[in-house]
Amino acid sequence: MTLEHLPALQVVLPLISAPLIVLVRRRWFAWALAVLVSWISLAIAVTLFLEVGRTGVITYAIGNWPPPWGIEYRVDALNSFVLVLVSFTAAVVAPYARISIAAELPREQAYLLFAMFCLCLAGLLGITITGDMFNIFVFLEIASLSTYVMIALGQRRKALVAAYQYLIMGTIGATFYVIGIGLLYLMTGTLNIADLAGRLRDVGEIRPLLAAFAFITVGIGLKLALFPLHQWLPNAYAFAPSVVTAFLSATATKVSVYVLIRFYFTIFGTSILFAALPTDEVLLVLSIAGIVTASLVAVFQQDLKRMFAYSSVAQIGYITLGLSLANEAGLTGSIVHLLNHGVTKGAIFLLIGGIALRCGAVTFDRLRGIGRRMPLTAFGLVIGGLSLVGIPGTAGFITKWYLVLAAIERGYWWLVAVIVASSLIALGYVWRFVEAAYLSPPDERSVKQGEAPASMLGFAWVLVIACVYFGLDTSFSVGAAREAAVLLIGGAR
Amino acid sequence: MSLASHYSYWVTIFLMIAGLYIVIARGNLVKKLIGLGIFQTSVYLLYIAPGKLIGGTAPIVAEGFRTYSNPLPHVLILTAIVVGVATLALGLAIVVRIREAYGTIEEDEILAQDRREEEQV
Amino acid sequence: MTPELAILGAVAIPAAGAVGVAACGRVPNLRETVTLVAAALLFLAVATLVSPVLAGARPSVRLFEIIPGLPIAFEVEPLGMLFALVASSLWIASSVYSIGYMRGNNEAHQTRFYVCFALSLAATMGIAFAGNLITLFLFYEALTLVTYPLVTHHGDDEARRGGRLYLGLLLGTSIVLLLPAVIATWSIAGTLDFTPGGILAGKVSEGGAALLLALYMFGIGKAALMPVHRWLPAAMVAPTPVSALLHAVAVVKAGAFAVVKVIVYVFGTTAFGPETFGWLPWVAGFTILAASVVALRADNLKRRLAYSTVSQLSYIVLAAALLAPLSIVGAALHIATHAFGKITLFFAAGAIYTASHKTEVSQLDGIGRRMPWTMGAFTIGALSIIGIPPAAGFFSKWFMFVGTVESGQYLALAVLALSTLLNAAYFLPIVHAAFFRGQDRRDDHGEAPWPAVVALVATAAATLALPFFADVPLELAGQVGGAPK
């Protein structure tokens, strides 16, 4: 009986744990429930993934109201992959959070962060699993509002400003999205994604659709930090608590990318997209601009978190680059990078959380000589950095492979040059860290500090190992990504 | 169907642009939130106005009526209003905390304080 | 030990050795023993593969697929066998030498040194036995990363700068040039397996193949074709055993090996003609001569040796680019002979530094009297590089010369001849000054520490003895080139 309700439970369980945490208020209970619900969510997501692999698309009608009038949860090859990614990240980040949050937040506020964490998880999972456009908006706002709160809980007062800025930009983005789906609803009369895909073909007037397409792109673009709508990200990542940064960097933008993919390929289909509007060119230009400028800016940062935040903007550029190429290799590269980058950045930010704990700050002057004092942390960061560059043996290499392959298949040799040259820029800022950590004399203020606590280090290294694992055994990641890509491209015809 | 009969859409566009303008152009944090609220209100109008079908009656099943206005947009907008309220509340709460931390709610003063702090480090 | 087990062992033994060294870091003598034992075991494992390969077998191992359709695969063929033999035997020699050098100079971070050294050997074995381009690329990058701590061993500003140039150039060329070349090959040919006769035949135009070849040749930065050669002199900031490793055992040999492997097994020697390959002998020839001229003018001994290596590597590239069967034999042989000769020279340079702290050629007057063994070995190494019998270098050069005549490439013949003269010009004066000039009265040092001397005498002896035990290398090289012996 529970098996058929799994899609609903995927969202409901984290959702009800949030008010439970607020009711009980104890810090240990909050943490324990957050961990429990993350692990259960992971189990559900994996079960759904395997089920989809066996039987195909799973649909679930909320409240037994049949679609397209009722809200439908629809799990296919693409979103089951994203569900696993989000819940896996949560499952690793939640146990890590105990010591990190205890260090970074006042005791009375800790339970609030865990409540918001559960809400955010529910929101992200909801966005991924739902098959109704307006439902996406609702869950999008649930996830975003809880994210704003989590960021505002950061230690410094700049966190408040960052949260406010993100709130303004994020709400504008969400509202643009609502305008877009409003136009779509007006033209077709349905909110259900699968139904919409069918009805769009029969619509006579194309102009409202183009307008809707533009609004949705801008709206979701704000959420996924597409250049030049990425301004909120560096501050938000830099000033939020370390756990929050790690969780967000691995999930929030990835889920927004999923929404974009869903709209582009399942709803709009390539016919309208690339024929009526120069979408691929615009997306290509914006992606390249994002990759190059963000990587360059990252090289000059003094704060490690900010540096890797800009790196995230660049990496998201890679994802949208693959989308703009719109062939199987490109889409595979984009979808697989959701996981690869999620794991890499999650590992990096979790390790940085350990540094923040031990050294007090994460600026380069505090980091000198850290290779000796915190060897496992530093080495883990090196591996994460190599993955960002795209060295074989790490997850990032797989993505680079597919993106270059996609560019070659399209005949864009200049794009190949851009992709590989940007890897060198990434090498630039990664190597700044390596030199500071290993080739510089230690900073006197932090000489006595040791390695990060075992629980934090352990869970961070789970992600580091995942980073290497998904660089070598790609049967899950590329397999799922490719299946999703084929589904999307095939369905879009 | 004339330009004048589409007045609700004109109002929508006006509110949309006014709201966005306020968000971008005003430096006071509370005014930005007000602008955001106006922007969101325009969207409510965008949904509800087309919901009224020409010749449609209230969406309650009754004898003798064939065309009913669409109730769904109202439902959607109720949800959106709730989301808007939550966002506004959260935004104001953050503004209160910013006031406590910075002593001001003007954006340029806050940025100036941050820049000074950065230079000192 | 089955061949498959030997292949896996070749990569696993040095890696396990690295772990062992790290574990025994506190007990130096135990730590050094672990290194020596691992080196010996590796040589044994590699040696067991010789007879099957000579008989024509090509043992292979396929592991998991890193990308759907692309497995990590190992396959032993004659060229890789030769390279593996050279690298594994020289690991033993350089380990002995390192013990003498590192202790004699009281170097810090010795455990890290031996760990990275062992890991470099594991990566080198991976390159030698790679069965397809993706495996080669994986271990090639790993080698760059694992040798970085060795190059920046001293940790000072100079080391950091040298390390930046080293890493920047090597990773830069491999990411920007080599990786697109590999992916393009995958897209064109549908496979990345190394196949005799190449995998690109008929699938790409001559012009496209020329472009692809350029990407490969400059992308394989470890082969130090000009202008991507600057990392090699920059890496001289490292301690001399590292330089020896770089120049003789692993890094540059991996580059030269990769070049020959790509030419023979990806492009094939008969599939493409002068439009594709025509430009390469010019670039290689230029590198040979230009590097020799720089070596002539360099006073720092290690710098002179570094540019000599740049020049010698391009010998291999030139010979391979001529596509004549005998010149390919020469190229393969030169990987081995140059390794033995160069490592002797570097051992000698390091011994000189350890004993007397002298680094410049102009300081070496009369040093032959104080360090006869060292300078004797140096002389033998120099003779090998110049190509004077009975030193080993003569034989590889002979095949290269005959190969140029056979294919009618008289300009290449002239380049080889001219550069031989230049080699003599920058080596023989050193020998002359060491033995026949009066020495500085203030010197009062003796020979280097005994492990170092043992090692360099051993490699010098091997350089002399190689021609007499030449049948195995000759046979292997011959199989690569496909020429009758």
Residue of A nearest to C186 (CA): A405
Structure tokens of C3? 């061949």
Is the model's pLDDT at A336 over the cut of 90?
yes
A401 vs C64, C65, C67: nearest CB: C67
Q: Which tens digit of pLDDT belongs to each residue from A301-319?
A: 999 999 999 999 999 999 9
The two three-digit tokens of residue A150, written as one number: 């989590």
Taken in order C240, C245, C255, C287, is the CA torsion positive or negative? positive
- Model's pTM, two decimal places? 0.92
Cβ distance A112 to A27 under 8 Å?
Answer: no
Place of tokens 């016919």: A271
Residue C417 makes CB contacts below 8 A (sequence gap 6+) with none
CA angle A75, A79, A81 (to 5 degrees): 115
Q: Answer whether B83 sits within 8 Å of A157, measured CB to CB.
A: no
User: What is the average per-residue pLDDT within A216-233?
Assistant: 93
Does residue C105 lie within any of the structural domains? no
Chain B residues with beta carbon closer than 8 angstroms to that of A152: 94, 97
Tokens of A408: 């070659």
Last residue of a domain, one of A244, A277, A310: A277
Q: Is C409 helix (H, G, I), strand (E, B) or coil?
A: coil
pLDDT above 60 for C295:
yes
Residues of C in contact with A408 (CB under 8 A): 180, 183-184, 187
Model pLDDT, residue A273: 63
Question: What is the pLDDT, as a whole number, of residue C277?
Answer: 84
| Residue A28: other Cβ atoms inside 10 A | 11
Q: Which percentage of chain A shows pLDDT scores above 70?
A: 97
Contact A320, A335 (CB under 8 A): no
Residues in chain C closer than 8 A to A400 (CB atoms)? 179
State the smallest CA–CA distance between residue B64 and chain A in angstroms.
24
Tally C-beta pairs within 8 A across A and B.
Answer: 64
- pLDDT number for residue A422: 93
How much is the average pLDDT of A345-367? 89
Cross-strand partners of C360: C300
Average pLDDT over residues C425-443: 80
What's the pLDDT score for residue A493?
41
Q: What is the mean pLDDT of residues C447-465?
A: 83
Q: Is A236 helix (H, G, I), strand (E, B) or coil?
A: helix
Average pLDDT over residues B7-28: 93
CA atoms within 13 A on the CB side of C224: 30
User: Is this prediction's ipTM beyond 0.90?
Assistant: yes
Q: Give the H/E segment covering residue C65.
A: strand C60-67
Q: B53 — phi, psi (to 5°)?
A: -80, 150
- The domain limits of chain B are 4-120
- Chain A residues touching B86 at Cβ < 8 A: 141, 145
CA distance A427 to chain C (A): 8
Hey, of A368, A420, A433, A473, which one would you mutate to test binding to chain C, going by the most C CBs within 10 A of its CB?
A420
Chain A residue whose CA is closest to B23: A168
- Please give the average per-residue pLDDT across A91-101, as a whole number: 92
Peptide bond before residue C451 is cis, with ω within 30 degrees of 0: no
Closest chain A C-alpha to B62 CA, distance in angstroms: 21
pLDDT for res C279: 87
Interface test with chain A among C139, C167, C179, by most A beta carbons within 10 Å: C179
Tell me which residue of C195, C321, C141, C450 sits closest to A393, measured CA to CA: C141
**Cis bond before residue A228 (omega within 30° of 0):** yes
| Residues A171 and A138 grouped into a single domain | yes
Whether B87 sits inside 8 A of A138 (CB atoms) is no
C145 interface with A at CB cutoff 8 Å: yes
d(CA C35, CA C27): 13
A443 has a pLDDT exceeding 80: no
C175–A474 C-beta distance less than 8 A? no
Closest chain A residue by Cα to residue B50: A186
From residue A133, give the alpha-carbon distance in Å to each of A72, A214, A220, A267, B81: 10, 16, 13, 10, 17
In chain C, the number of structural domains is 1
C-alpha to C-alpha distance for B103 and B95, rounded to whole angstroms: 11
The pLDDT of A158-180, averaged and rounded, is 95
Residues 6 or more apart whose CB falls under 8 angstroms from that of C93 comprise: C343, C347, C455, C458, C459, C462
Cα(C42)–Cα(C404) distance, rounded to whole angstroms?
36
The answer to whether residue C146 sits within a structural domain is no
Contact A401 C142 (CB under 8 A): no
Q: Is the alpha carbon torsion for A194, A196, A200, A206 positive or negative?
A: negative
Q: Which residues on B lie below 8 Å from A157 (Cβ)?
A: 98, 101-102
How close B2 gets to chain A, by Cα (Å)? Answer: 18
Rounded to a whole number of angstroms, the distance between the first and last alpha carbons of chain A is: 37
In the structure encoding, which two tokens stand for residue C176, read together?
A: 């920007």
State whether A378 and A456 are in the same domain.
Answer: yes
Q: How far apart are CA A224 and CA A221, in angstroms?
A: 5
For C176-214, the DSSP string reads IIIHHHHHHHHHHHS--B--TT-S-TTTS-HHHHHHHHH
| C92-147 pLDDT, tens digit each | 888 888 888 888 888 888 888 999 999 999 999 999 999 999 999 999 999 999 99
Q: How far is A432 from chain C (nearest CA, A)?
A: 10
Contacts of A478 in chain C (CB under 8 A): 67-68
- Token duo for residue A362: 């994460």
Q: Which residues of A touch C160 (CB under 8 A)?
A: 435, 439
Residue of A415, A440, A474, A486 to mutate, testing the C interface (most C Cβ within 10 Å of its Cβ): A474
The per-residue pLDDT for C30 is: 87
Model pLDDT, residue C485 = 33
- Cα C120 to the chain's mean position, in Å? 12
CA-based end-to-end distance of chain C: 30
Handedness of CA B103, B106, B111, B112 (dihedral sign): negative
Segments forming the whole domain that contains residue A283 = 278-493
More confident residue, A262 or C1: A262
Tell if the CB–CB gap between C68 and A427 is shorter than 8 Å.
no
Supply the range of the domain harboring residue C439.
278-485
Mean pLDDT of C171-177: 93
Domains: count for chain A: 2
User: Out of A463-472, A473-482, B99-108, C451-460, which region has the weakest mean confidence (pLDDT)?
Assistant: C451-460
C169 in a domain, yes or no?
Answer: no
| Min distance B101 CA to chain A CA atoms (Å) | 6
Of C415, C420, C356, the C-alpha closest to C386 is C420
**Choice between A205 and A435, residue whose per-residue pLDDT is larger:** A435
Residue with tokens 């496909």: C482
| Between residues C466 and A307, the one the model is more confident about | A307
Report whether pLDDT(C377) > 60.
yes
Q: Residue C80 domain-assigned?
A: no
Q: Please answer yes or no on whether A439 and C155 come within 8 Å at the CB atom.
A: yes
Considering CB atoms only, which of A408, A435, A474 is closest to C160?
Answer: A435
A277-284's contacts with Cβ under 8 Å and 24+ in sequence apart are A277/A210, A277/A213, A277/A214, A279/A213, A279/A217, A279/A324, A280/A324, A280/A325, A280/A326, A281/A324, A283/A320, A283/A321, A283/A323, A283/A324, A284/A321, A284/A324, A284/A325, A284/A415
Cβ-defined contact of A392 to C163 (cutoff 8 Å)? no
Mean pLDDT computed over C387-393: 83
pLDDT value of position A171: 96
Residue C483 has a pLDDT of: 42
Strands A72-75 and A58-61, by their bridges, are antiparallel
As given in the structure block, the two tokens for residue A417 are: 């040059």
Q: Do A and B have ≥3 inter-chain CB pairs under 8 A?
A: yes
pLDDT at A446 over 70: no
Alpha carbons within 13 A on the beta-carbon side of A464? 22
Give the mean model confidence (pLDDT) for residues A33-46.
96
CA distance C53 to chain A (A): 29
Is C172's CB within 8 Å of A439's CB? no
User: What share of chain C has pLDDT > 70, as a percent?
Assistant: 98
pLDDT averaged over every residue in chain C:
87
Find residue C130's DSSP bridge partners.
Answer: C74
Out of A134, A137, A171, closest to residue B36 by CB: A171
Q: Indicate the residue of A148, A171, A179 with minimum beta-carbon distance to B46.
A: A179
The shortest C-alpha distance from A469 to chain C (Å) reads 10
Say which residue, A1 or C298, is predicted with more confidence.
C298
Mean pLDDT of the A46-63 span: 91
- A445 versus A135: the higher-pLDDT residue is A135
Residues C442-452 have pLDDT tens digits of: 666 777 788 88
Residue among A164, A168, A185 whose CB faces B98 most closely: A164
Spell out which residues of chain C touch residue A416, defining contact as CB-CB under 8 Å.
180
B94 and A178 within 8 Å at the Cβ level: the answer is no
Residue C66 belongs to a domain = no
Question: Are B80 and A160 a contacting pair at CB < 8 A?
Answer: no
CA distance C142 to C136: 10
Residue numbers in B near A168 (CB within 8 A): 23, 32-33, 36, 91
In the structure encoding, which two tokens stand for residue C313, read together?
Answer: 């590597």
If asked whether residues A180 and A221 sit together in one domain, one would say yes
C308 exposed, middle or buried (CB, 10 Å; 0-12, 13-18, 19+)? Answer: buried
Q: Is the CATH number 1.10.287.3510 carried by domain B4-120? A: yes
Residue A346 has pLDDT above 90, yes or no: yes
Alpha-carbon gap, residue A351 to A246, rounded angstroms:
9
- Residue of chain A with shortest Cα separation from B12: A179
CB C314 within 8 A of CB C225: yes
- Tell me, what's the pLDDT at C236? 87
Angle among Cα C47, C53, C54 to the nearest 5 degrees reads 95
- Same domain for A175 and A221, yes or no, is yes
Asked if A420 contacts A407 with a C-beta cutoff of 8 angstroms, the reply is no
Asked if the C-beta of A186 comes within 8 angstroms of chain C's C-beta atoms, the answer is: no
pLDDT at C484: 38
Select from A277, A294, A329 the last residue of a domain.
Answer: A277
Averaged pLDDT, A186-208: 85
| C183 touching A (Cβ < 8 Å) | yes
- Indicate if A59 and A79 belong to the same structural domain: yes
**Lowest-pLDDT range, A447-461, B33-47, C412-426?**
A447-461
C-alpha–C-alpha distance, residues A341 and A232, integer Å: 19
A175 contacts B87? CB cut-off 8 A: no
Asked if residue C485 lies in contact with residue C78, where contact means CB atoms within 8 angstroms, the answer is no
- Residues on chain A touching C175 (C-beta within 8 angstroms): 389-390, 420, 423-424, 427
Reported confidence tier of residue C259, pLDDT bands at 50, 70, 90: very high
Tell me whether residues A179 and B76 touch, CB distance under 8 A.
Answer: no
Q: Check whether C50 has a pLDDT greater than 90.
A: no
